[in-house]
Structures are given as structure tokens and as C-alpha cells.
Structure 1
Amino acid sequence: MMNLYPLIRPWLFSMDAETAHHFTLNSLKRTHDWGLSSLIRPSVINKTSNLCGIAIPNRVGLAAGLDKDGKYIDALADLGFGFIEIGTVTPLAQPGNPLPRMFRLPHAQALINRMGFNNDGVLACVDRVKQSRFYKNGGVIGLNIGKNAQTPIEEAVNDYLIGLRTVYPVASYITVNISSPNTKNLRALQSGDDLDHLLASLAKEKQILRQQYQKSCPLLLKIAPDLDDEQIDHISKLLIRYEIDGVIATNTTISREKVAGLKYSEETGGLSGQPVFEASNRVIRVLNQHLRQQIPIIGVGGILNGADAKAKINAGAHCVQVYTGLIYKGPQLIADCTLALSQA
């Protein structure tokens, strides 16, 4: 039944992109609730691995952004992911940017989004995680945290600390998202003293929370594909200095070089999918050179088949995440990637 997706996709693509997004997720949830997930579940090959010391059944995860509020955890888990990341969540609920804010570029197998961290707030998300069967059964769930749009950039650390404290008790790992292009000035946190201050504050708070909850929850940083080698070197040194547990490379790009001239290419927002593949791989390779396998890398960006997933591993990633590829390929992508990585 999963191979029907190529037949269903044209109908989904006839809808507005965000409408189709919600329709698909709600359909998955109904399928799960009715006990029919086996009809769409791909034949995933599990080969136990680990993510920052956490056992995972396979190395293919869901990237943040698809399920921003943790409303579809169990339905998505049924598709065979080794781990799931939800969010980005912010301290307070916020609507995000005005519609329309998501655009498909089919000729490039890409998306542009400027969602703007639309979410119900971190407390609502944590409650949903606690209620999910996947969480109760020990599934690996990452919580991706960000800052509210109205929070001045000079006070951003406070928002990240609130997010860290709130998700720490339930998260398998926590991702600090400072690389979305859709929140004003957010990417400035990737450089200079701002990043030093942010990571120092989070690392200090993590030690307090570790004692409070008697558990060690890995902390990861998600970075952009548009960084130069000097910036990546600076980030790598700070990751090691503050003993950050992992890094996700990469988020969406602001470059339009690969999609110039296509419909919607001039829309503002982050570009994901095939056009970001090589840029993401470059960041992974440079990170790998600097980190020397001291810190694991999760590779994400432009994975559309098993060979793409394997290329991320060859570049230096330990695990991968997918998002836009699911929009274009459907659940079969998960099976293709787990098969490729079981042989890597």
C-alpha cells in the first residue's frame, strides 16, 4: 500500500502546500487510531545503533518541523523511524508568520517555508509527549527548542533556558535551533560572543538539571548550511569547549542559486530538499574535520533516496534525518534509507 504514494501525490500537490501538510498528518493519525498503520508501513530494516549514547533501532530519524507540537508522534513512529524530533517549540504559543508560508518547487524537489516557529507553546508539547505511546514505550524523542518571535535577540538566552528546563524531564535529547532563517536575527546566534554566551549558559543549566532529575539528556546544536569554513571552525571549538553532545547539520538555506528562475524561488524563507544536499554535505565534511569524531553529527538536507543517506554517512554523519524527501517520496524513503545504512 505504501507504493501507492506516487499515485496519491499529484492529488496532494493540487492542494496548497500547508493544507496538504495538515491533511496528510491528520490522515496518518486516523490510520493509526483505526489500527491500520500496517497498510502504509514500509519494510524497514532495523540495525541497532546509538545516538549520543542512546540506543536507537535504526539510524534514520524524522527531522524537526514536520510535527511541531507533538500531535502526531505515534502515527509517525508507525512509519519505522529510529528516532523522532519534534518542534521547534517556544516558551509561549505563537501563530508564526502570515499565510501563505510554504511553497513547493517540484522541479527541484524542494520546499520553501517561512513558518516562523508556529506552535502551541512548550508546555502543551510536553504534555503531548507524555501522553504518546511511543514515549511510554521508550521511543527516542528529541525536542527542538527556539525563541519566541517577540523576544529581543539580546534576551534570547532566557527563552532557550526556559525551553531547556521545560523539556528536560521528557526529552531523549534536546536540540537548540539557532539556524532557522524565519525568526528575525536568530542566525546571528551562530557566531561570535553570542554563541559562546548561549552555549555556556545552556551547558551550565544542563549540569543543574542533570543533578535535579538524575538523568543525562544530550544537548545538540542545529546549524545552517550557509556557514563558511571559519564559522564552522569557531562553532566546532565551542561545541568541544562546552561539551555539547551532538550537532545537526543542517537546517534550510537562504541561497536560491540552485532554484533560480523557478516558480516561488523568490519567496522568502528557508529552502529545503535536493538543492541543499551538497551544501549540507559540505558542512558535515568540514565539521568532521574539526570535530575528529569527538561529537556525533546528524546529517539532514536533501535526502531523497538511500544513496543520499549513505552520502551523509560517508561525509561524516553518524545518523540522518529526513523531512522534505518524505513530501516527494512518501514512506518508502524510510525503508530505502534504512536498507542503505544497514549496509554502510
Structure 2
Amino acid sequence: MANLLARPTITREQAFLRACNQASNLPLASERLREGATAINCMGLSFPNRLGIAAGFDRCGKLGRSAGNLGFGAIELGSWTQENWPRSLPAQHSEAILNTRLGIRLAATAPVSPEQETAQLLHLIESAWFTADYLTIAPDWLQQAVPFRQLHRNLLRLREALQTLESQTRKFCPVVYKLRVKPGNEEACNLIPYLACQEVDGILISFDFGKPVTDAHYRQWRDPELQASTCRTIEACQHHLNGSSALLTNGGVCSRQNYLDRLSAGADLVQLHNALVFEGPDIGWKFSQ
């Protein structure tokens, strides 16, 4: 049983090493990426294409911006916490593609209250501010049974601190709020109208059946109706946003058609993770061109 449980982890580690090796061995791919897709302005940033790598694949930044050599316009690192903060931070620029965007996913550790979680997140945001092009957070109080007044107070506290930080540093670093959505149970999307009114920089809809993700679980996403349901959710979310915030999505993107369908449904950026693990590092070029 222990070996069976360890296999997904081993597979992911092997996939990550293959991706790092391939990215470092490829010639500079800026011209190929530029010719293969249309750049997009999103959250005040320019992305060379709309395909990214989700957090969890590259935890510390070893691949980092070199993900551009695999056909990706962005990569999200992490999750980073106070306890697992990398000893060395990824360079702000890479010898690969200079405009491949670098996001960092931040997470509080065992907070005892929404207020403590917010304080931890603010500390992490300050620490990652100059390294990241954008940041992603998923406060527990955003999707738990927290009184609305308390939720609103913590969101405002984050927004005001971010405005102060931007003013002090003269650096713009958009923040994306991640919502976990189990396919078929889309209650998290009820928060979309509220977040749209708050004009947050971005919202990440992450479709997730839970861990671990095995090859068999990954293949479940081949179901056309399951894919169609995710697109309907994205369409509904985009309808509420009406351009007020960027809409990102990940989870269950297994083919180029899945990727195109989510863009057509209204996603601004689409992230991969498990497709890299089970399909290999070439998947980026196959999707983006």
C-alpha cells in the first residue's frame, strides 16, 4: 500500500526533473514562443501567451522563468509558507525568456483565526513582493463559514495593505484570489459577484477532485460532459465579473481542445499541472501553438 501511495509523488518528481532538463537544454525559445501565440495584457501585465504552469509543480523556482523554453507564458511557484520559504530565490530575469511571468502562491500555516491568517499572508506578501510578477493567495476565511462582516473586514485589510505597499515601493504586483471548486459543486462561485464588486486583480477557479491525483483520476477528465461543466462554470463566473477582474483557471486541462474551450468560455489565463506530469514537458508547445 505504501508503494502505491508513493507512486504519484515519484511520478511528479520525475516529471519535474524532465521538465527542468528539457528547459535548460533547449536553445532560447523567445522567437518560437512569440510566433506561436498572441500576447495578452492581463492584470496590468503582459503575458507572451495565455498558458501557464500551476503552483505545486515547481515549488521553489528551479524551473522558474525557464518554463518559457517549454512554451509557457507564465509559471506559478509554491506554495510558499513561512516554514518552507526557499533558501535562494529565483532570479528576476532568466537566460530563457525575459517576459515569462513569475507568480508565487503563498499560504498561511495553521492560523487560529482569520485575523491571524491575514497577518501571515501580509508578511508573506511583503517577503515575495520584489520576486514575483504576481501573487496568488487562498485565504481559508474566503471559503469557510466565516461571518460576512469578518470576511469583508479581512479582505479590506489586505487591499489597504497592498495599496500602501505599492505606494511605498512604486512596484505593481497584482494579487489573485484562488477559489477551489469541486466539479459539480460550484458553491464557491457564489463569491464571484462579491469579489467582482471589490475589483480584485484576479480570481483563480481551481477545479479539484482532491489528492492524490493518480493516472486513473487524471483520465476521468476525458469525460466530455465533465469538461463541458467546467466551461459552463467559467462562463457563469465571467458573466458576473464583466471584465472587472482577470479570470484564471486550472484543473483537468488534458488536451489542447480543453485549453481552447476554457479560453472560449471566458478564461483569461489557463494553467496546467497534471498534464505536465502524465503527458510530459512537450505539452506546453502542443497547447500553445
Could you tell me which residue of structure 1 aligns to residue 26 of structure 2? 37
CA distance in 1, matches of 2:234, 2:117: 26
Give the alignment partner of residue 195 of structure 2, picking from 229, 233, 239.
Answer: 239
Could you tell me which residue of structure 1 aligns to residue 112 of structure 2? 152
TM-superposition CA deviations, 1:198-238 (whole Å, max 9, x none): 321211111011111102211111111138666523x2233
Q: Kindly tell me: are residues 59 and 250 of structure 1, through their superposed partners in 2, closer, same or farther at Cα, counting changes over 3 Å?
A: same
Matched, 1:313 2:273: no
Whether the 8 Å contact between 2:104 and 2:135 is mirrored in structure 1 is yes
Give the alignment partner of residue 174 of structure 1, picking from 129, 135, 145.
Answer: 135
Q: Kindly tell me: are residues 245 and 186 of structure 1, through their superposed partners in 2, closer, same or farther at Cα, counting changes over 3 Å?
A: closer
Q: Kindly tell me: are residues 224 and 277 of structure 1, through their superposed partners in 2, closer, same or farther at Cα, counting changes over 3 Å?
A: farther
Q: Kindly tell me: are residues 16 and 75 of structure 1, through their superposed partners in 2, closer, same or farther at Cα, counting changes over 3 Å?
A: farther
AA aligned opposite 1:200: L
Q: State the 1:58 CA deviation.
A: 0.9
CA distance in 2, matches of 1:271, 1:177: 27
Give the alignment partner of residue 162 of structure 1, picking from 100, 123, 138.
Answer: 123
Whether the 8 Å contact between 1:273 and 1:325 is mirrored in structure 2 is no
Give the alignment partner of residue 23 of structure 1, picking from 14, 28, 46.
Answer: 14
SS at match of 1:133: coil
SS at match of 1:16: helix
Whether the 8 Å contact between 1:56 and 1:82 is mirrored in structure 2 is yes
Q: State the 1:46 CA deviation.
A: 2.9
Q: State the 1:59 CA deviation.
A: 0.8
Structure 2 length normalisation: TM-score?
0.81
CA distance in 1, matches of 2:100, 2:277: 24
Aligned residues: 278
CA distance in 2, matches of 1:163, 1:83: 21
Q: State the 1:249 CA deviation.
A: 1.2
Q: Kindly tell me: are residues 39 and 157 of structure 1, through their superposed partners in 2, closer, same or farther at Cα, counting changes over 3 Å?
A: closer
Whether the 8 Å contact between 1:249 and 1:280 is mirrored in structure 2 is no
Whether the 8 Å contact between 1:272 and 1:324 is mirrored in structure 2 is no
Whether the 8 Å contact between 1:280 and 1:301 is mirrored in structure 2 is no
CA distance in 1, matches of 2:22, 2:68: 12
AA aligned opposite 1:129: P
TM-superposition CA deviations, 1:34-56 (whole Å, max 9, x none): xx235999x65132112212111
Q: What is the alpha-carbon root mean square deviation over aligned residues? A: 3.7
Give the alignment partner of residue 222 of structure 1, picking from 178, 201, 205.
Answer: 178
Identity of aligned residues (%): 21
Give the alignment partner of residue 325 of structure 1, picking from 271, 275, 285.
Answer: 275
Q: Kindly tell me: are residues 153 and 202 of structure 1, through their superposed partners in 2, closer, same or farther at Cα, counting changes over 3 Å?
A: same
CA distance in 2, matches of 1:244, 1:39: 35
Structure 1 length normalisation: TM-score?
0.69
Q: Kindly tell me: are residues 281 and 32 of structure 1, through their superposed partners in 2, closer, same or farther at Cα, counting changes over 3 Å?
A: closer
